[in-house]
Amino acid sequence: MKADSAVQRQLLELAKVDAELSRVEHRRRTLPELAQIEDAEKLVREHRDTRVSTQTAASDLDREIARQEKEIESVRAREDRDRKLMESGSVQAKQMNDLQHELDTLARRQSALEDDLLELMERREALELDGQRTGAELDKAEQALADAGRRRDEAVADLDTTQARRDEDRAKLVPRFPEPLLKLYERVRAQKGIGAALLRARRCGACQLELDRSTISEIKTAAEDEVVQCENCGAILVRTLESGL
């Protein structure tokens, strides 16, 4: 293939633009914010799950506490009734005895119920603290998630700006190349990532391979408008005064 050497040299500009576009693309996929967002989302989910189970445990305990209080209340009512009956002076000695016995039993029961209630309330208090701690951690994780999202959006906006500029540059450059040369460039670029590079100090600027003596002498004797490709990576080797031929 032949192409004017000045046109070939302009391939270096196109390659530079494309290299930047590739960097933008790579950066888009590897933004550190993406991993940060993933981590933060995981943390938020975990804290939310913890919050749900803490809330469930708390409402279970609340029900248990209410039941316990009701039970204590009914024992107390029964004690009042017994006591009133004893004070009324209307009961016989035997019944007095029974009532006293019942009051003793009720007092023991009351005390056991109160101990249980105390324990339930302590557990409820601990859950309350757990809930507060989880809430604070969740707030923190949600904040971190929002921050990472904002940083990601800013980074993406920067990348969008760079990409738009380079796309513009590219659109201006592309019409300068004859169709077959551009096709070759695009094909090599699609396969190897770099379509054209400067030949400098006998090295391919794309794959950095040092060309052997015979290849160099072939390139030396090739016409200026001959399109030369790297035998290793296929990149169009652009020759300039820097090539050291």
**Site residues (CB under 5 A) for Zn ion?**
204, 206-207, 230, 232-233, 235
Q: State the nearest-atom distance from the C-beta of 234 to Zn ion, in Å.
A: 7
Token code pair at residue 140? 């923190």
Q: Please say which residue, 3 or 199, places its beta carbon nearer to Zn ion.
A: 199
Q: State the nearest-atom distance from the C-beta of 225 to Zn ion, in Å.
A: 21
Q: State the nearest-atom distance from the C-beta of 23 to Zn ion, in Å.
A: 19
Q: Please say which residue, 117 or 207, places its beta carbon nearer to Zn ion.
A: 207
In angstroms, rounded to a whole number, what is the distance separating the alpha carbons of residues 127 and 243?
75
For residue 198, what are the β-bridge partners? 238
Q: Please say which residue, 17 or 237, places its beta carbon nearer to Zn ion.
A: 237
Q: Which residue reads 């192409």 in tokens?
A: 3
Q: State the nearest-atom distance from the C-beta of 176 to Zn ion, in Å.
A: 23
Q: Please say which residue, 44 or 196, places its beta carbon nearer to Zn ion.
A: 196
Q: Please say which residue, 69 or 226, places its beta carbon nearer to Zn ion.
A: 226
Burial class (CB within 10 angstroms; exposed 0-12, middle 13-18, buried 19+) of 149:
middle
How far are the Cα atoms of 118, 172, 203 from residue 9, in angstroms, in the given order?
87, 15, 16
Q: State the nearest-atom distance from the C-beta of 146 to Zn ion, in Å.
A: 46
In angstroms, the first-to-last Cα distance of the chain is 20
Identify whether the C-beta of residue 65 lies closer than 8 Å to the C-beta of residue 117: yes
Token code pair at residue 100? 């006293």
Q: State the nearest-atom distance from the C-beta of 153 to Zn ion, in Å.
A: 38
Region of 202 (left: φ > 0; alpha: ψ -120 to 50; beta: rest) is: left
Identify whether the C-beta of residue 44 lies closer than 8 Å to the C-beta of residue 215: no
Q: Which residue reads 């975990």 in tokens?
A: 46
Token code pair at residue 125? 């208090």
For residue 2, what are the β-bridge partners? 226
Q: State the nearest-atom distance from the C-beta of 18 to Zn ion, in Å.
A: 16
Q: Please say which residue, 75 or 233, places its beta carbon nearer to Zn ion.
A: 233
Q: Please say which residue, 106 or 245, places its beta carbon nearer to Zn ion.
A: 245
The CB density around residue 172, as the number of other CB atoms within 10 Å, is 11
